[in-house]
């Protein structure tokens, strides 16, 4: 089974070797047929504390690293 890869924006870098990434997706409202933005926050592992708030990053699903961390940062997009 392939690992999921998501793109999002770093919204918090206060944790040690951890960042919080906000991933937005668009869904269509079943009644009004308008697109609605839904977002979810993921805790991701950042080994070198290299990413700051506002960075666009790619995260990949991995084994559980802590209570909340199930994702790692694989690429930084400028």
Please give the model's pTM, rounded to 2 decimal places: 0.88
- Section 18-46 average pLDDT: 97
> What is the domain extent for residue 52?
5-77
- Across the strands, what pairs with 21? 10, 42
Indicate whether 78 pLDDT > 60.
no
Beta strands in 1-78 (DSSP E): 5-12, 18-28, 35-45, 56-61, 71-77
Q: How many domains does the chain have?
A: 1
- DSSP character for 17? T
- Section 13-20 average pLDDT: 96
Angstrom distances, CA of residue 9 to CA of 3, 13, 45, 59? 19, 11, 14, 10
- Section 27-51 average pLDDT: 96
Do residues 77 and 67 lie in contact, with contact meaning Cβ atoms separated by under 8 Å? no
CATH number where 32 lies: 2.40.50.140
Confidence of residue 2 (pLDDT cuts 50, 70, 90): confident
The reported pLDDT for the residue numbered 76 is: 61
Do residues 59 and 6 lie in contact, with contact meaning Cβ atoms separated by under 8 Å? yes
């Amino acid at each position: 089974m392939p690992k999921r890869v998501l793109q999002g924006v770093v919204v918090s870098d206060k944790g040690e070797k951890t960042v919080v990434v906000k991933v937005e997706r668009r869904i269509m409202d079943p009644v009004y047929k308008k697109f609605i933005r839904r977002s979810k926050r993921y805790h991701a592992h950042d080994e070198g504390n290299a990413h700051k708030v506002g960075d666009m990053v790619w995260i990949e699903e991995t084994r559980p690293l802590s209570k909340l961390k199930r994702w790692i940062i694989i690429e930084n997009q400028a």
